[in-house]
Chains A and B, each alone.
Chain A
Amino acid sequence: MNNRLYGNLIFELSKEGRRGYSLPRNNFGNYEIPASMQRTEEAQLPECDELTVVRHYTNLSNNNFGVDTGFYPLGSCTMKYNPKINEEMAALPQFQDLHPMQPAETVKGALALVALLEQSLCKLTGLAHFTFKPYAGAHGELTGLMTIDNYHRSRGDMQRKKVVVPDSAHGTNPASAAVCGLEIIEVKSNAEGQVDLEDLEHLVTAEGPNIAAMMMTNPNTLGLFETQIPEIAKLIHDCGGLMYYDGANLNPMLGACRPGDMGFDVMHINLHKTFSTPHGGGGPGAGPVGVREGLQDFFPVVSPYHGNFGVMMRAYAYILSLGRENVKLVGPLAVLNANYIKESLKDVYELPIDTTCCHEFVFDGLKDKSTGVTTMDVAKRLLDYGYHAPTIYFPLLFHESLMVEPTENESKETLDGFIAVMRQIAEEAKTNPDEVKSAPHTTPIGRVDDVLAAKHPVVTFRQLQAEAQL
């Protein structure tokens, strides 16, 4: 990683007259774009030769950290291994050049793949139908809620505009509800980190006829299985609402429990989490939505074609590779890995709810609070030791949340290495807190000034240049 040598922007490498492309000769004759159509100011795009471009982006990649680089225990994100064969399958020329508006008889293979993936997802979740239109997890949530809203509307049940969400929910849950025109009511967590059934009963009594759905992820964001899920589902169903499953935490359920069997009516799956498709620095993902029989008529049109087809191909390659023999081990091994880390660190990190977790768990910072070393400091210090940091300051239930999710792909040696480093940081917090608080020291850049970026936004090269002239 070398920020100094290769920290340039591609615009700063540009030189007039260089080119990095080749196009066929224009042998169509004299067809000139009329001046009246044309822009007056040229787009200031870079001019670079091919090697300059290749070297620039190769070096940029060296300033990045991915699952292939090292352990990436980012809680809630399921950073599992992204198998290489999936990439090759998604790049097959027989699929690359298909226009989405081709008539069905010319895309039989592509349609077959969609159908096969749907079948597998139905079997794995216990639901009856899937739509692949949603492009991502949050888009899936929105699609699922729209499906629910359409269902209530179709029955003339127009007042059902409230969605019950646990206070530990992912931030996208309330945001998706708002975009769907629905209102959130929060249900509290109890001391065990689970939905407080009594509080839910109150909500249902007060708001029953207005409840469109309850949105949950199970295991929840603390990594805890909501054991009262049958009772919760009954309460919601009895008042006329539907149960929505946020599939963000589906991974530990493979081999243990199906959302359909838990009483959920609608769910989305993050193919980029549970089904191993690469996160790509923040997308593209895919968020197919599954429903119980009868609800498929209420799927909304949230995108024009078959969703992120390339992502779906990868997911199907993964399902085929694992097969029924291995897919049921995904959950148990992910859960074992998480519990192994938790048990190995809970004497030095604060574990607010000491019980068996699923695929992830949450520490509330260091146990010894006297050092002044925060979760942020621990996270940054981990970077020095070659690990990606866990998710920090989420869920919002604790002040110093540190959420660890190791996935099933990590070996005992990797986990032991991480555990050793986490213990060492806990030790450093006592013996050399300044070293931890000023971390990271070995990364291409140090801690960044977030306030400066937000107070005075410079978000394009043009602004950056204007800035330099001041």
Chain B
Amino acid sequence: MFKYFPHTEDDLKAMLETVGVKDLAALYAQIPEDIRFRGDYDIPSEMSEMEVRDTFAKVGSLNKQLTCFAGMGVYDHYTPSVIPQLLQRSEFLTSYTPYQAEISQGTLHYIFEYQSMMTELTGMDISNASLYDGTTAAAEAMMMAVAAGKKQNKVLVSATINPKTREVLDTYALHQGIELETIPQQDGVTSKENLEAQLAEGGVAGVIVQQPNVFGIVEDYTGFADACHEQKALFIIDSVAADLAVLKTPGEWGADIAVGDGQSLGIPMLFGGPYVGYMCCTEKLIRKMPGRIVGMTKDNRDQRAFVLTLQAREQHIRRQKATSNICSNQSLMALFVTIYCSLMGKQGLKEAAQLSYAGAHYLWDELKKTGRFRLVYDQPFFNEFYVKYDGDVDTLYQRFIEAGFLVAKMDDGLVFAVTEKRTKEEIDNLVKIAAL
């Protein structure tokens, strides 16, 4: 038998006898013959472990390794070696949703820590146990705002949000029948004037903005929360998790819901996933929150224990009346960022953010010196910035690729992102290519 099948000939015989059928095929006697699949699937023949390894190595060699100056929601941060090793602990890796609390304290315990860390980063009261990624977290926040509102069915989204997020919001809104309207930008930041005008029209359940925004700009959201609350709309801020270690938090801006991607907390880019979406909210909204939530309780031996809680919101109880169709969370990736935050801690996250900020500003200063670039919007940025090039941008982009550098292209401009991983040498080399 194959290595993942433990059945010997004798086992098969004995088991078939207990079941009372003559062979394995007879187990499917109830399937109508005309839909029964017989024969072989047209897939590759079985491979030894060595052949699997070889196949992946060959396919992998077709990829080109680039030094990453691209961001736009996905950032090349450093992964401390502790994390992948701890994530491979079988007891974490091969378990499922912690339904049986007595033998799942490991998972429940770290989710409680995760929730605590995300509320610390966002400055909010409550966090759920995580969602799939930042874009779907934003979509969940949009639906949560509409569900929390009374007959309000409109959600306003700033034009400075990542277009990838907007696309996912559009998808969910279309099927939910939610009216999504855009708040235009002015000089690269959300127009407060327009926001107030649209809010005044009424019917707005929620307002979604991004910080730092898609251009890397750190926006000033002073007065936004009040404007929203005056019209009974929820204020939602979408942020890169790692940046919140230093930036003014969604909580400090007066947000009702904070969402975003946790990928920036050391998770490898891995061609788009898995990442982890976070969602935090005010205490008032806890029963409207989608997804799993872990809470503290006691066991019958009077010990502190953790458990899935407030499950009355969820699909397996509420079915079509649930707050969301989310079934599980993104648990292992929540563990990833929990260990990351434990290692980096209060100081490390700040230091990494400062390094990213310094690298990005050094890069901009150097690019400026070439005389060929200008910032599209003259606004304060964090670790990412949007520039126009005075030559053919596609040629430059290609030249970067050939030299082994990746930057992000947006419309006819380029967006550069710098993390703590980028060295001065790499930046200087990039600038040399840019100056050619």
0/1 string, B96-137, CB within 8 A of A gives 1:
111111111111011011011101110101110110110110
Q: Nearest Cβ distance between residue A273 and chain B, in whole angstroms?
A: 10
Of B19, B20, B49, the contact of A85 (CB 8 Å cutoff): B49
Q: Nearest Cβ distance between residue B348 and chain A, in whole angstroms?
A: 4
Chain B positions within 8 Å of A142 at CB level? 325
CA distance A172 to B93 in the complex (A): 23
A42 interfacial contact with B, CB 8 Å: yes
CA distance A29 to B355 in the complex (A): 10
Chain A positions within 8 Å of B113 at CB level? 9-11, 461
CA distance A177 to B298 in the complex (A): 37
Of A64, A136, A319, A454, the contact of B43 (CB 8 Å cutoff): A319
Q: Nearest Cβ distance between residue B328 and chain A, in whole angstroms?
A: 4
A98 interfacial contact with B, CB 8 Å: yes
0/1 string, B240-256, CB within 8 A of A gives 1:
00001111110010000
0/1 string, A109-127, CB within 8 A of B gives 1:
1101100100110011010
Q: Nearest Cβ distance between residue B166 and chain A, in whole angstroms?
A: 10
Q: A278–B168 contact, CB under 8 A?
A: no
Chain B positions within 8 Å of A180 at CB level? 175-176
Q: A281–B331 contact, CB under 8 A?
A: yes
CA distance A281 to B103 in the complex (A): 12
Which of chain B's residues has its CB closest to A94's CB?
B60
Question: Can you list the 8 inter-chain pairs with the closest CB atoms, starting with the nearest?
Answer: A323-B46, A305-B272, A94-B60, A280-B332, A64-B106, A66-B94, A68-B90, A284-B274
10 A-B pairs with CB atoms under 8 Å apart are A23-B351, A24-B423, A67-B94, A69-B91, A74-B99, A87-B88, A123-B43, A171-B314, A282-B328, A325-B2
Chain A positions within 8 Å of B46 at CB level? 320-326
Chain B positions within 8 Å of A112 at CB level? 59, 62
Residue of B105, B110, B332 ringed by the most chain A CB atoms within 10 A: B105
Which of chain B's residues has its CB closest to A258's CB?
B37
Which of chain A's residues has its CB closest to B143's CB?
A179
CA distance A182 to B2 in the complex (A): 44
A68-B91, A91-B84, A450-B297 are known contacts; what are 11 more A-B pairs with Cβ within 8 Å? A7-B303, A47-B346, A62-B91, A92-B60, A105-B64, A184-B320, A229-B32, A230-B34, A284-B333, A323-B44, A328-B40
Of A110, A282, A324, the contact of B97 (CB 8 Å cutoff): A282
Q: A227–B31 contact, CB under 8 A?
A: yes
Q: Nearest Cβ distance between residue A97 and chain B, in whole angstroms?
A: 6
Q: A459–B294 contact, CB under 8 A?
A: yes
Question: How many Cβ-Cβ contacts under 8 Å join chain A to chain B?
Answer: 656
Chain B positions within 8 Å of A344 at CB level? 18
CA distance A462 to B298 in the complex (A): 18
CA distance A441 to B401 in the complex (A): 61
**A55-112 interface (Cβ within 8 A of B):** 56-58, 60-69, 72, 74, 77, 79, 81-83, 85, 87-89, 91-92, 94-103, 105-110, 112
A189 interfacial contact with B, CB 8 Å: no
Q: How many positions in chain B have a CB within 8 Å of any CB in the partner chain?
A: 195
Q: B319–A171 contact, CB under 8 A?
A: yes
A225 and B30 contact, Cβ closer than 8 Å, known pairs A33-B246, A257-B35, A306-B273: yes
Q: Nearest Cβ distance between residue B243 and chain A, in whole angstroms?
A: 10
Chain A positions within 8 Å of B303 at CB level? 3-4, 7, 445-446
Q: Nearest Cβ distance between residue A325 and chain B, in whole angstroms?
A: 5
CA distance A379 to B370 in the complex (A): 70
Q: A281–B335 contact, CB under 8 A?
A: yes
Which of chain A's residues has its CB closest to B7's CB?
A333
Chain A positions within 8 Å of B325 at CB level? 138, 141-142, 172, 175-176, 178-179
**B2-50 interface (Cβ within 8 A of A):** 2, 4-7, 11-12, 14-16, 18-21, 24-25, 27-32, 34-37, 40-47, 49
Q: Nearest Cβ distance between residue B358 and chain A, in whole angstroms?
A: 4
A453 and B309 contact, Cβ closer than 8 Å, known pairs A66-B93, A136-B328, A304-B272: yes
A108 and B62 contact, Cβ closer than 8 Å, known pairs A20-B345, A449-B299: yes
A191 interfacial contact with B, CB 8 Å: no
Of B321, B327, B420, the contact of A137 (CB 8 Å cutoff): B327
B324 interfacial contact with A, CB 8 Å: yes
Chain A positions within 8 Å of B94 at CB level? 66-69, 72, 79, 82, 278-279
CA distance A391 to B316 in the complex (A): 12
Chain B positions within 8 Å of A258 at CB level? 37
A95 and B348 contact, Cβ closer than 8 Å, known pairs A106-B63, A175-B319, A447-B299: no
Q: Nearest Cβ distance between residue B382 and chain A, in whole angstroms?
A: 7
A431 interfacial contact with B, CB 8 Å: no
B322 interfacial contact with A, CB 8 Å: yes
A100 and B252 contact, Cβ closer than 8 Å, known pairs A57-B86, A106-B64, A113-B59: no
CA distance A344 to B175 in the complex (A): 48
Determine, out of A197-205, A235-243, A366-374, A406-414, the stretch whose residues face the partner at the interface.
A406-414
CA distance A152 to B31 in the complex (A): 31
Q: B406–A102 contact, CB under 8 A?
A: yes
Q: A459–B12 contact, CB under 8 A?
A: no
A256 and B36 contact, Cβ closer than 8 Å, known pairs A45-B117, A103-B401, A108-B63: yes
A402 interfacial contact with B, CB 8 Å: no
**B347-383 interface (Cβ within 8 A of A):** 347-349, 351-355, 357-359, 361-362, 380, 382
Of B82, B168, B269, the contact of A100 (CB 8 Å cutoff): B269
Q: B298–A322 contact, CB under 8 A?
A: no
Determine, out of B68-76, B185-193, B194-202, B226-234, the stretch whose residues face the partner at the interface.
B68-76
Of B35, B51, B80, B297, the contact of A262 (CB 8 Å cutoff): B35
Q: A257–B60 contact, CB under 8 A?
A: no
Chain B positions within 8 Å of A464 at CB level? 296
CA distance A317 to B56 in the complex (A): 8
Q: Nearest Cβ distance between residue B105 and chain A, in whole angstroms?
A: 4
Q: A443–B320 contact, CB under 8 A?
A: no
CA distance A89 to B57 in the complex (A): 9
A420 interfacial contact with B, CB 8 Å: no
Q: A332–B244 contact, CB under 8 A?
A: no
